[in-house]
């Protein structure tokens, strides 16, 4: 997956050649529209760039409350397959969404030092609710990739909005937790001294603090790291977002690594839609693998979105404890989202 993103970056105008390398015959590449909501933001801009480099995208709609005409004009000069259109302001949201196969949502405020992701709830819950109301109206069949925090609550909000509108399909709603996986892979490779591009680590649970549970016992290549290294790697993965928030010192949270992670996940969704076999990523989805209604785990992506939600596999004692500890916090965040969506 990582190497395919570098292929994209190298492919430039040769997107047809890049598609052929990816196993598509040139006549068989479906048209796919992707919309980015929040496209003028810190994540939105580099994410829009990366989606413009993806040859699976034929139309790219860049929506924000302001600033998108400039971002769209800029990105549109890149000589790759997709046609770009910028949409600014609520009256253009419908047009941005119509016909979308995948909608990526990085709209909303980011953290400042000292804040938790839940501190963003009051502002971002309303933003997500209104955007999802529009998705239900204009592109009810699209796959929705939710980046806006707190993901542990914004995904349940989206589900409730779609249920009320009668459009909910649990196979099509995803909380994007790919950045946790990207971090876990990077940190593990550094500690285990193995090539980073060969590393796989599932990350399960949710997307905030201790609800982020990397399963280093299942990491490959195997490295037999001592317990204290596993604990340190787990903590660093759980606090990865805070590490960036503190380093940015008031200027926001992860944007570039998130754009990379968001582009990887959207690419996986597009591949699944296009019938590419065995596309598996971790994501926060409706789930019955634990007692909680939403949970992140490995998910197989197919022509209709989620094809299969995989179980957790064998856990170490340390991971079993982590799982037990995260359940109450994740449950409360899910319930908070559901309550918000139903009372307002
Ligand atoms: N899931 C994850 O792993 C991660 C999630 N995030 C979250 O992503 C969100 C965005 O972060 P940044 O891009 O850094 O923030 P930002 O403030 O740089 O950009 C947010 C953009 O959203 C736009 N926006 C606000 N209300 C909107 C609406 N109603 N419709 C459309 N656009 C709207 C703003 O105009 C702005 O351009 C935050 O909630 C942040 O916490 C950030 C990093 C990782
Ligand atoms: O930490 C934050 O607020 C942003 C985020 O979700 C991440 O970087 O994982």
Transcribe 288-302 into DSSP letters.
-SSSSSEEEEEEEEE
Structure tokens of 267?
Answer: 């690419």
Q: Among this protein's residues, is 207 annotated catalytic?
A: yes
User: Which residue among the candidates 207, 236, 271, 336 is catalytic per the annotation?
Assistant: 207
Q: What is the pTM of this model?
A: 0.96
Per-residue pLDDT at 17: 64
Is the ipTM higher than 0.90? The answer is: yes
The Cα–Cα gap between 231 and 227 comes to 6
**Which of 106, 111, 182 to mutate to test ligand 2, by most ligand atoms within 8 A of the CB atom?**
111
Task: Compute, in angstroms, the gap from residue 65 CA to the centroid of ligand 1.
Answer: 11
To 10 degrees, what angle do helices 240-248 and 178-192 make? 90
**Residue ranges of domains in the chain, CATH in brackets:** 33-176 (3.40.50.720), 177-335 (3.90.110.10)
Over 80: is that where the pLDDT of 4 sits? no
* Residue pair 228/85 in contact by the 8 Å Cβ criterion: no
Q: Is 234 in the pocket of ligand 2 (CB under 6 A)?
A: no
Q: For ligand 1, say whether the CB of 43 is within 6 Å of any of its atoms.
A: yes
Neighbour-count burial for 131-147, b at 16+ CB within 10 Å, e otherwise: bbbbbbebbeebbbbbb
CA distance 255 to 248: 11
For the segment 181-192, what is each residue's pLDDT rounded down to a tens digit?
Answer: 999 999 999 999
- Residues tagged in the binding site annotation: 38-44, 64, 111, 117, 124, 147-149, 183, 258
Query: Which residue's CA lies nearest to atom 5 of ligand 2?
Result: 241
CA distance 86 to 45: 12
d(CA 77, CA 139): 27
Binding positions for NAD(+) are 38-44, 64, 124, 147-149, 258
User: Per-residue pLDDT tens for 217-260?
Assistant: 999 999 999 999 999 999 999 999 999 999 999 999 999 999 99
**Annotated binding site for substrate, which residues?**
111, 117, 149, 183
pLDDT > 60? residue 48: yes
Ligand 2 nearest-atom number relative to CA 149: 6
Tokens (6 digits) for 291: 């007692």
pLDDT digits (tens, 9 = 90+) for 18-43: 666 666 665 679 999 999 999 999 99
The full DSSP string for 87-135 is EESGGGHHHHHTT-SEEEE--SPPP-TT--GGGGHHHHHHHHHHHHHHH
């Amino acid at each position: 997956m990582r190497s395919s993103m570098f292929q994209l970056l190298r492919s430039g105008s040769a997107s047809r050649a890049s598609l052929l390398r990816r196993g598509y015959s040139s006549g068989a590449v479906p048209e796919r529209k992707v919309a980015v909501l929040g496209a003028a933001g810190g994540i939105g801009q580099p994410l829009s760039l990366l989606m413009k480099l993806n040859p699976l995208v034929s139309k790219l709609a860049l929506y924000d409350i302001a600033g998108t005409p400039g971002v769209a004009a800029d990105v549109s000069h890149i000589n790759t397959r997709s046609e770009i259109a910028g949409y600014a302001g609520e009256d253009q949201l419908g047009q941005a969404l119509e016909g979308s196969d995948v909608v990526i949502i990085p709209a909303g405020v980011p953290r400042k030092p000292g804040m938790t992701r839940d501190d963003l709830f009051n502002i971002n819950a309303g933003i997500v609710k209104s955007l999802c109301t529009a998705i239900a109206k204009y592109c009810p069949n699209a796959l929705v990739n939710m980046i806006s925090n707190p993901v542990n609550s914004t995904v349940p909000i989206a589900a409730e909005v779609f249920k009320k509108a009668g459009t909910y399909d649990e196979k099509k709603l995803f909380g994007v937790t790919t950045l946790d996986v990207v971090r876990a892979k990077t940190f593990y490779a550094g500690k285990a001294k193995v090539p980073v591009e060969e590393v796989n680590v599932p990350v399960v649970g949710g997307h905030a603090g201790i609800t982020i549970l990397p399963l280093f016992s299942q990491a490959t290549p195997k490295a037999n790291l001592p317990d204290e290294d596993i604990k340190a790697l787990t903590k660093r993965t759980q606090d990865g977002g805070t590490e960036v928030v503190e380093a940015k010192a008031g200027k926001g949270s992860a944007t570039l690594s998130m754009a990379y992670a968001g582009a990887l996940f959207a690419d996986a969704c597009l591949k699944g839609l296009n019938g590419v076999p065995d596309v598996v990523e971790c994501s926060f989805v409706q789930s019955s693998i634990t007692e909680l209604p939403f949970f992140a785990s490995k998910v197989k992506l197919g022509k209709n979105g989620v094809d299969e939600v995989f179980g957790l596999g064998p856990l170490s004692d340390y991971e079993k404890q982590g799982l037990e500890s995260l359940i109450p916090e994740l449950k409360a965040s899910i319930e908070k989202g559901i309550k918000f969506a139903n009372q307002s």
